[in-house]
Amino acid sequence: MIDQHFVSPNDIRAKFSLAMSAMYQQEVPLYGDLIELVAETNREVLSKDSALAHGLQITGEIGRLSMERHGAIRVGTAAELQTLRRLFAVMGMSPVGYYDLTAAGVPVHSTAFRAVHEADLQVSPFRIFTSLLRLELIENVALRELAQRLLDRRCIFTERALELIALHEIQGGLDAEQAQEFVAQALETFRWHRLATVSASEYQQLHNQHRLIADIVAFKGPHINHLTPRTLDIDRVQAAMPERGIPPKAVIEGPPTRHCPILLRQTSFKALEEQVLFIEPDGHQVVGHHTARFGEIEQRGVALTAKGRALYDRLLQAAQDALQVPATEDNAPRYYQLLAEHFQAFPDDYNALRVQQLAWFRYFPTECGLAAKETVEQHSTLEQLIALDYIRFQPLVYEDFLPVSAAGIFQSNLGGSHHAQYAASSSRAAFEQALGAGVIDELALYQQTQQRSLQACAQALGLHAL
Ligand code: OOG
Ligand code: NI
């Protein structure tokens, strides 16, 4: 039982998410413009699409839409990752899923910290995609040692943040004052630092190995590199971005436009070139540039089952194979056409997705179902109750990420066409060891949410089970 005087982790997360967004708007004003564009577009979509608005009302997503965003950070050591895990735990965020990006030429592997229960997600769906550098993939020994030295020397948390994390673990929670202080202290870890921790030549060496390595190793901390609001119509926002002076990347990542959106579609605006200061061995500062921070938008659709995901992966791969080259600005129309053609094989109707067990859903009792409670046949099946309109269903929104899309986002913001090749195998076990905990299987979470909604229906209709 959580002590009465402790603030709910949900509230701490909601406050932290707001504080992070305010900080990023100050740091990257284009992100503020993007938020406005997304909010406007969402209002328009909701006013025109009453079925969508109704569905979001029933699931409760309407309430979280305007607060919905994810961010991303990259860290360098197991110790940093472990402390982050403890920091996110204060806000009720757990590591969900394992993403290996080395296959896509990015020397990191990742997880997403987020709330796991639908009731908690409703209060604040804030997520942080968190990547750990795989230092062992740097082949140049001297450079690897330099990176290690720089990482060992830094502490990315304030002393007070560390104290409050420990206090949270001992007490089992934080009171109002401590929670407020925690938000301010935790935020410091994600702040941008213009002053690098390396000389211009060290930066160049790290950068030449991989831009991402310089981004992770050459600064005081894991600055938040983007924040992503959720739009209800990504095609519209993508089209409107240039008019607002926000240059989008060439293609929207993920599935094509559909009536029933699945998983996740994402696009971003290109990273900014920012002035930084390098620190030379004699203590002098020299001006340089670093490109890392950007803005992103996403449209979230229904979460897929393992079967649905396998179909998605197959169709996406087939479309990419048919294109034969990476999707770019020039071939984007052809790529979208190929995607649309291949995804004809993916049912675009919620009931078909449900009956074929390609996607997860939440079930809700209807007014007429509740009114008929006394007379409902005990042995009714779910399908019978749906046919009687005693139960309706709504798509369960995808709360996670897509490694292929993530790699596309990484690449677009690393600039150039640098595609490193890493022979390393995917190493979930090594990641979990660095994290100091296992990552949660996202499919199990979706299944539990679906199951809880069925149980709630059974209870509301006076049935033993469903
Ligand atoms: C993370 C990229 C992944 C997403 O939305 O897929 C991501 C990064 O660039 O650090 O945020
Ligand atoms: Ni992102």
> Average pLDDT in the 149-173 region?
97
pLDDT band at 409, cuts 50/70/90? low
Question: Alpha-carbon distance 31 to 69, whole Å?
Answer: 12
- CA of 409 relative to ligand 1 center, distance in Å: 6
pLDDT band at 417, cuts 50/70/90? very low
Question: Alpha-carbon distance 31 to 241, whole Å?
Answer: 11
Instruction: Return the best residue to mutate from 266, 410, 411, 412 for the ligand 1 pocket (most ligand atoms within 8 A of CB).
Output: 410
pLDDT band at 249, cuts 50/70/90? confident
- Cβ(371)–Cβ(390) below 8 Å: no
Residue 165: pLDDT over 50: yes
Predicted local distance difference test score (pLDDT) of residue 248: 85
Residue range 218-231, pLDDT digits in tens: 999 999 999 999 99
Return the residue matching tokens 């905990």: 437
Out of 56-60, 152-156, 367-371, least confident range: 56-60
Secondary element (H or E) of residue 95: strand 94-100
Residue 299 in contact with ligand 1 by CB distance below 6 A: no
- CA of 107 relative to ligand 2 center, distance in Å: 17
Question: In sequence order, what DSSP letters do the residues of 322-336 get, joined into one string?
Answer: HH-S---TTTHHHHH
What helix, strand, coil percent values describe the chain, rounded to 5? 50, 15, 30
> Average pLDDT in the 176-198 region?
97
> Average pLDDT in the 102-129 region?
93
Out of 101-110, 234-243, 341-350, 377-386, least confident range: 101-110
Residue nearest to atom 7 of ligand 1 (CA): 406
Residue 389: pLDDT over 90: yes
Q: What is the pTM (predicted TM-score) of this model?
A: 0.94
Amino acid at residue number 218: A
Question: Alpha-carbon distance 204 to 229, whole Å?
Answer: 33
Look at strands 361-365 and 295-300 and give their pairing. Answer: unpaired
- CA of 4 relative to ligand 1 center, distance in Å: 37
Cβ partners under 8 Å of residue 462, min gap 6: 373, 374, 376
What is the total residue count of the chain?
Answer: 466
> Average pLDDT in the 182-196 region?
96
Amino acid at residue number 186: A
Question: Alpha-carbon distance 267 to 255, whole Å?
Answer: 12
Residue nearest to atom 3 of ligand 1 (CA): 406
Instruction: Return the best residue to mutate from 102, 398, 409 for the ligand 1 pocket (most ligand atoms within 8 A of CB).
Output: 409
Closest ligand 1 atom to Cα of 74 = 10
Residue range 274-313, pLDDT digits in tens: 999 999 999 999 999 998 888 899 999 999 999 999 999 9
Residue range 7-44, pLDDT digits in tens: 999 999 999 999 999 999 999 888 898 999 999 999 99
> Average pLDDT in the 138-158 region?
94
Question: Alpha-carbon distance 364 to 2, whole Å?
Answer: 29
> How far does Cα 286 stand from its chain's mean position?
35
Question: Alpha-carbon distance 134 to 210, whole Å?
Answer: 12
Residue 407: pLDDT over 70: no
Residue 99 in contact with ligand 1 by CB distance below 6 A: no
> Average pLDDT in the 88-102 region?
95
Question: Alpha-carbon distance 262 to 122, whole Å?
Answer: 20
Query: What residue spans of 118-270 are helical by DSSP H?
Result: 118-123, 141-153, 159-171, 176-188, 200-209, 211-217, 234-240
Residue 460: pLDDT over 90: yes
Predicted local distance difference test score (pLDDT) of residue 105: 81
Amino acid at residue number 345: A
Residue range 338-353, pLDDT digits in tens: 999 999 999 999 999 9
Cβ partners under 8 Å of residue 446, min gap 6: 303, 305, 360, 396
- Print burial letters for 342-375: b (CB count within 10 Å at least 16), e (below 16): bbeebbeebeebbeeebbbbbbbbbeebeebeee
Out of 165-169, 382-386, 419-423, least confident range: 419-423
Q: Count other C-beta atoms under 10 Å from residue 151's C-beta.
A: 19
Per-residue tokens: 402: 């897509």
- Cβ(181)–Cβ(164) below 8 Å: yes
- CA of 303 relative to ligand 1 center, distance in Å: 19
Instruction: Return the best residue to mutate from 81, 109, 129, 401 for the ligand 1 pocket (most ligand atoms within 8 A of CB).
Output: 129
Predicted local distance difference test score (pLDDT) of residue 423: 58
- CA of 62 relative to ligand 1 center, distance in Å: 25
pLDDT band at 329, cuts 50/70/90? confident
Residue 269: pLDDT over 90: no
Residue 143: pLDDT over 80: yes
> Average pLDDT in the 105-134 region?
95
- CA of 310 relative to ligand 2 center, distance in Å: 22
Name the range with the highest mean pLDDT among 78-82, 323-327, 420-424.
78-82
> Is 0.90 exceeded by the ipTM?
yes
Residue 168: pLDDT over 90: yes
